[in-house]
């Protein structure tokens, strides 16, 4: 493969992707939210209003996409690389459409093209799969709760068991809707809350090992820097891998699993017509704390009307991704290590493993705890469960 060309198109792809992660900092109709949830007016006042424009030059982005696709079509890159670059840049095209149509049906339709819909998985096999997962969950038996710098230091120490401290940092989070998140080289934590050490371990494996780890590994690829660049199509595998890692390492608690399932059910409800107040009430009925119920409801209604009938369907990918990944691993008879190559979609990963010597990717870091006998046994049991239910593929 032409390394110079791959690097050039990777650089251009990264430039197009810049500033398109707007869904992590969404806008909301604040007046409507104040009327619906007056008890949460202080939190709602910290959100961005829907009238605040996104700092993106849409015309410039579209021109760059057009130029990229034109030049790519005439390039000497192999067909495999052309497909990877074309698929990714078309994801960015859809994101721009979502940005232009924030709050209406076109946003939702574009969202389902990127992330799918709950209407494809409302079947008995999938629900049975979800019912069996608690067998792999544990109780939170932590003896200590940590907050602020103590919690951050706990994560720093745990991260250093797998990663060189020079390759990452742990920082306070500015996110209003999640307690922990990962950037390209940072693990972020809401330092205003107190966490059990078990919950911090969940953040470690989900955000640290998976999301941050694959970003670092992608950035360490000398010949394929596109592996460090986020695209919506990589989210499906990423979130499935993060949930699977929680399960095989016995960090997934029953309480955590219940919240993941509730978030999924809430998204299904929104797609089927439930409004934001009905979903909020559903979460409260299932013992979710007041503010957490609002935050999860807001995640589900990112970019869509509060009246229901639509949802931000990325919230489905945690469970859809888990089921698909288990099938994928069983079908291709591969281990987890290859998934740490960078940010990849299922289709891209299949291309990589079938042409490993051609791509010759590097894997700088991999959590060795995933190679323990107990972790491998749990992984095998989960794969067998998935394959027995989805013999023809998950979706």
Per-position DSSP letters for 27-39, written without gaps between them: EE-HHHHHHH-GG
* Boundaries of domain holding 215: 126-253+318-389
Q: Identify whether 157 is part of a domain.
A: yes
The two three-digit tokens of residue 60, written as one number: 């410039």
Residues with Cβ within 8 Å of 309's Cβ and at least 6 positions away in sequence, in order, are 270, 271, 272, 273
Alpha-carbon distance of 182 to 171, in angstroms, equals: 10
49, 29 Cβ separation under 8 angstroms: yes
- 234, 212, 216, 229: which is closest to 6 by C-alpha? 229
Instruction: Please tell me the predicted confidence (pLDDT) of residue 353.
Output: 94
Alpha-carbon distance of 160 to 142, in angstroms, equals: 21
- Output DSSP code: residue 46: T
153, 171 Cβ separation under 8 angstroms: no
Alpha-carbon distance of 160 to 132, in angstroms, equals: 34
Instruction: Please tell me the predicted confidence (pLDDT) of residue 393.
Output: 77
- 87, 117, 86: which is closest to 268 by C-alpha? 117
- Output DSSP code: residue 339: G
Q: Identify whether 151 is part of a domain.
A: yes
Q: Identify whether 201 is part of a domain.
A: yes
- 180, 174, 248: which is closest to 208 by C-alpha? 180
148, 176, 285 from 288: Cα distances, Å: 23, 17, 7
To which H or E segment does residue 198 belong? helix 197-203
Q: Identify whether 26 is part of a domain.
A: no
Residues with Cβ within 8 Å of 97's Cβ and at least 6 positions away in sequence, in order, are 106, 107, 110
User: What pTM does this model have?
Assistant: 0.95
Alpha-carbon distance of 214 to 230, in angstroms, equals: 10
Q: Identify whether 383 is part of a domain.
A: yes
Q: How many domains does the chain have?
A: 1
Instruction: Please tell me the predicted confidence (pLDDT) of residue 123.
Output: 79
Residues with Cβ within 8 Å of 227's Cβ and at least 6 positions away in sequence, in order, are 217, 218, 221, 341, 342, 343, 344, 361
Residues with Cβ within 8 Å of 144's Cβ and at least 6 positions away in sequence, in order, are 196, 197
71, 88, 234, 385 from 348: Cα distances, Å: 21, 10, 9, 25
Q: Identify whether 181 is part of a domain.
A: yes
Q: Identify whether 46 is part of a domain.
A: no
Q: Identify whether 53 is part of a domain.
A: no
Tens of each residue's pLDDT in the chain, 395 residues:
688 999 999 999 999 999 898 777 889 999 999 999 999 999 999 999 999 998 899 999 999 999 999 999 999 999 999 999 999 999 999 999 999 999 999 999 999 999 999 987 767 899 999 999 999 999 999 999 999 999 999 999 999 999 999 999 999 987 778 899 998 899 999 998 999 999 999 999 999 999 999 999 999 999 999 999 999 999 999 999 999 999 999 999 999 999 999 999 999 999 999 999 999 999 999 999 999 999 999 999 999 999 999 999 999 999 999 999 999 999 999 989 999 999 999 999 999 999 999 999 999 999 999 999 999 999 999 999 998 888 877 76
58, 65, 215 from 12: Cα distances, Å: 16, 9, 18
């Amino acid at each position: 493969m032409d390394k110079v060309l791959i690097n050039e198109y990777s650089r251009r792809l990264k430039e197009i992707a810049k500033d398109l992660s707007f869904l992590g900092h969404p806008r909301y109709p604040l007046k409507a939210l104040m009327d619906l949830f007056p008890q949460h007016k202080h939190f709602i006042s910290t959100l961005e209003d829907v009238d605040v424009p996104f700092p993106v030059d849409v015309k410039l982005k579209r021109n760059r996409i057009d130029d990229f696709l034109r030049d790519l079509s005439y390039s000497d890159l192999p067909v495999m690389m052309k497909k990877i670059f074309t698929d990714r840049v078309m994801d960015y095209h859809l994101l721009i459409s979502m940005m232009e149509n924030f709050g209406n049906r076109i946003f939702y339709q574009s969202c389902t093209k990127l992330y799918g819909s709950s209407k494809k998985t409302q079947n008995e096999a999938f629900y049975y799969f979800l019912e069996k997962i608690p067998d792999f969950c544990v109780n939170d038996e932590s003896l200590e709760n940590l907050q602020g710098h103590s919690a951050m230091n706990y994560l720093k120490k745990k991260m250093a068991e797998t990663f060189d401290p020079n390759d990452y940092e742990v920082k306070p989070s500015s996110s209003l809707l999640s307690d922990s998140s990962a950037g390209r080289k940072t693990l972020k934590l809401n330092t205003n809350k107190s966490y059990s050490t078990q919950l911090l371990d969940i953040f470690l494996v989900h955000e640290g090992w998976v999301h941050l780890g694959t970003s670092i590994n992608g950035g360490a690829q000398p010949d394929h820097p596109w592996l460090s660049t986020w695209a919506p199509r990589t989210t499906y595998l990423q979130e499935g891998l993060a949930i699977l890692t929680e399960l095989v390492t016995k960090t997934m608690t029953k309480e955590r699993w219940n919240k993941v399932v509730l978030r999924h059910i809430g998204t299904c409800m929104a797609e089927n017509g439930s409004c934001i107040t009905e979903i909020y009430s559903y979460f409260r009925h299932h013992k979710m704390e007041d503010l957490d119920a609002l935050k999860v409801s807001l995640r589900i209604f990112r970019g869509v009307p509060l009246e229901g009938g639509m949802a931000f369907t990325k919230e489905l990918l945690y469970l859809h991704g888990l089921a698909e990944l288990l099938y994928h691993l069983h079908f291709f008879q591969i281990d987890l290590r290859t998934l740490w190559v960078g940010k990849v979609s299922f289709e891209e990963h299949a291309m990589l493993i079938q042409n490993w010597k051609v791509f010759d990717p590097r894997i700088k870091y991999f959590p060795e705890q995933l190679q323990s006998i107990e972790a491998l046994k749990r992984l095998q049991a989960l794969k067998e469960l998935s394959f027995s239910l989805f013999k023809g593929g998950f979706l």
